[in-house]
Amino acid sequence: MQFIVEDAETHLNIKVTEPRIDAAIATLFKDKLREIVVKNRKPVHLDMALVDFMDSSGLGAMIAVRKSLPENLALVLCALTPNVERVFRLTRMDSVFDIRPHPAQKEPL
Amino acid sequence: MTPTRRSDPGLGNRLSAQTQPMFHRILNAHPITVRDTLQDVRHRFRSEVSEDTLGRLELVLAEVMNNVAEHAPICDDPQLMGAGRLPVIHLSIVRHNSGLTCALTDDGVSLPEECLLPRSLPPLLPDDLPEGGFGWFLIQDLTQALCYYREGSRNYLAFCIPFAQS
């Protein structure tokens, strides 16, 4: 499992390269991503453009990662594909996560 | 097909009206096998139905089949670790005029009754977000005519994924 991590000073840009976040890899996904976000202690922008499919176990993994971040650090989800967006919307988790259409550019200081 | 048969409009029309794309597979209830099967389902129907319908079908099938895998009977015998028998799923999908009808049977544990009772989402407490409990909500939300029974050692589950979401 690979994440492309880029430190943008104000936050961390993480690109998910797995095409599917499903029951086969949800636990590994959660553990790896949690390790990255906990270690860096910065707001996270997660680029989901390459993820074609996510099921409820994948959603559970995303929620676990969200909960592992301290309250004041944001987890922004960028560029959700339609199948992934559907799961967030139907479960009302789109009200919990900060969801944005495109990968955020580096923010000016 | 011979020119003679082709020239018989009655037979030709009847055949085309009755022939609908299908998918049938027998698979072990394991997350990797489920993933492979879902990709084959997608391949089978992608020229037949919209991407939106395909996405809803794939999500529901993933939830149902991964539930079977997740709740596979636990084998306590250390000698059989890893060699314990996985439940076997039979999956059938047929395209109809209004949607994709799915039938699944498996020889895993019996489905708890509460899965099929009308469900709402687990409470979204900001301080303690639920990490599970979404699967059957999604299944119920995305399917029509969902029905279940158990006969002998098998579960039988059937439902329809409508082309247009109500």
B154 bridge partner residues:
B151
Does any CB of chain A come closer than 8 Å to the CB of residue B22? no
B17 has pLDDT over 70? no
For the stretch B49-88, pLDDT in tens is: 999 999 999 999 999 999 999 988 766 555 555 556 799 9
Of B62, B66, B121, the CB nearest to A92: B121
At B3, the pLDDT band (50, 70, 90 cuts) reads very low
> How much is the average pLDDT of B76-101?
81
> How much is the average pLDDT of B6-30?
72
Of A24, A82, A90, the CB nearest to B32: A24
- CA separation, residue B94 to residues A48, A97, B59, B91, B108 (Å): 32, 37, 17, 10, 23
Between CA A69 and CA A41, with CA A54 as vertex, the angle to 5 degrees is 15
**Structure tokens, B121:** 């989402």
At B23, the pLDDT band (50, 70, 90 cuts) reads very high
> How much is the average pLDDT of B122-139?
87
Euclidean distance between CA atoms B58 and A19, whole angstroms: 14
CB-CB neighbors (< 8 A) of B68 in chain A:
none
For the stretch A2-55, pLDDT in tens is: 899 999 999 999 999 999 999 999 999 999 999 999 998 899 999 999 999 999
Euclidean distance between CA atoms B160 and B120, whole angstroms: 20
Instruction: Name the amino acid, one letter, at A71.
Output: E
A106 has pLDDT over 80? no
Q: Within its chain, how far is the Cα of B56 from the centroid? A: 11
Domains of chain B: 23-74+81-162 (3.30.565.10)
- CA separation, residue A83 to residues A78, A80, A90 (Å): 14, 8, 11
Q: Picking from B26-35, B36-45, B108-117, B119-128, which range would have the lowest pLDDT averaged per residue?
A: B119-128
B137 has pLDDT over 60? yes
Half-sphere exposure of B51 (CA within 13 A, CB side): 7
CB-CB neighbors (< 8 A) of A53 in chain B:
38, 58-59, 62
pLDDT value at residue B77? 57
pLDDT value at residue B74? 67
**Interface confidence (ipTM) of the complex:** 0.90
pLDDT value at residue B103? 98
B2 has pLDDT over 50? no
Q: Which among A25, A23, A22, A67 is positioned nearest to A44, based on CA atoms?
A: A67
At B4, the pLDDT band (50, 70, 90 cuts) reads very low
For the stretch A40-59, pLDDT in tens is: 889 999 999 999 999 999 99
Handedness of CA A30, B68, B113, A89 (dihedral sign): positive
Q: Within its chain, how far is the Cα of B75 from the centroid? A: 26
Euclidean distance between CA atoms B117 and B120, whole angstroms: 10
Domains of chain A: 3-100 (3.30.750.24)
Say if CB A37 and CB A6 are below 8 A apart: no
